[in-house]
Amino acid sequence: MNRYEGRRALITGGGSGIGQATVLRILAEGGSVVAADVSERGLRDTREKAAGHADRLTTLVVDIADESSVRAAVATATATLGGLDVLVNAAGILRSSHTHLTALEEFTRVLQVNLVGTFLVIREAIPALLAGRDAAVVNFSSTSAAFAHPYMAAYAASKGGVQSMTHALAAEYAGRGIRFTAVQPGSISSGMTDGSGVSGQSQGPGLPADADMGLFAKLSPALGRGFAGPETVASVVAMLGSRDGRFITGTEIRIDGGTHF
């Protein structure tokens, strides 16, 4: 499948987990990609894994929580690609704690990266996307936006915000040629969930030592034998960002192997 031939994509969080898997998937489908991440180590790993497509991959360090960093990165990405058709906002962090013991800085940091950071990248990318072809933005919500995840109040709030923002943006730009969708992953193996990422930025779920696991309604996917690999989300993101998703906007797709049905 070469759905991305001639398509130009910017992917944040491209140095680990689902973002990295999406970089590899879109490259494999013929796209030109700028992979952006706060972790130079993660981006190096992405370059190594994408060695066969080096001519269509550029990597860029960005801190999506920082307005000036985002401005510079999106400008560089757009100039490198000669425009922009697809934006994938996969960068994010997870922090878990008892809410009554959560410092204000911890709470606002999660919102600043996951929600404000996603807004900043979108805002800076919109002018280029308006001039793009079949433009599409894929945001990262989470099953925590719809199903109770204890000890993750800030994370759940940030992902609920991303999901609602996706709907608002879809309405605002539907008539101007940009689609906005979100994925709701759950039970996906990555730096965030099991420390298998390489970026060095992820801390794993970090649940409190005395967490009551009985509070999680369901933890295991109905499909398969446990967590799935990040490529199971990347394939859905690739569909949403391609012309195959051209009649989909303002909604989200849950990819959790049936953990939450």
**Please, what is the minimum distance in Å from the beta carbon of residue 36 to ligand NAD?**
7
Would you call 155 a catalytic residue per the annotation?
Answer: yes
Q: How far apart are CA 106 and CA 102, in angstroms?
A: 7
Report 126-165 residues binding ligand NAD (CB under 6 A).
140, 142
**Please, what is the minimum distance in Å from the beta carbon of residue 133 to ligand NAD?**
26
- Per DSSP, 114 falls in state I
Assign residue 30 a region (left: φ > 0; alpha: ψ between -120 and 50; beta: otherwise): left
Contact flag: residue 96 with ligand NAD (CB under 6 A): no
Count of residues that bind ligand NAD according to CB under 6 A: 36
Contact flag: residue 97 with ligand NAD (CB under 6 A): no
Contact flag: residue 197 with ligand NAD (CB under 6 A): yes
The phi, psi pair for 66, rounded to 5°, reads -110, 120
Contact flag: residue 15 with ligand NAD (CB under 6 A): yes
DSSP strand pairing (86-89 vs 57-61): unpaired
Q: How far apart are CA 148 and CA 247, in angstroms?
A: 30
Q: Binding marks (x or -) toward ligand NAD, 217..236, rule CB under 6 A?
A: -------------x------
DSSP string for residues in 1-58? --TTTT-EEEEETTTSHHHHHHHHHHHHTT-EEEEEES-HHHHHHHHHHTGGGGGGEE
Report 19-38 residues binding ligand NAD (CB under 6 A).
19, 37-38
- Catalytically annotated residue among 4, 151, 155, 173: 155
Burial bucket for residue 58 (CB in 10 Å: 0-12, 13-18, 19+): middle
Report 72-91 residues binding ligand NAD (CB under 6 A).
90-91
The contact set with ligand NAD (CB under 6 A) reads: 12-13, 15-19, 37-39, 42, 62-65, 90-93, 113, 117, 140, 142, 185-188, 190-193, 197, 199, 201-202, 230
Positions annotated as catalytic residues are: 155
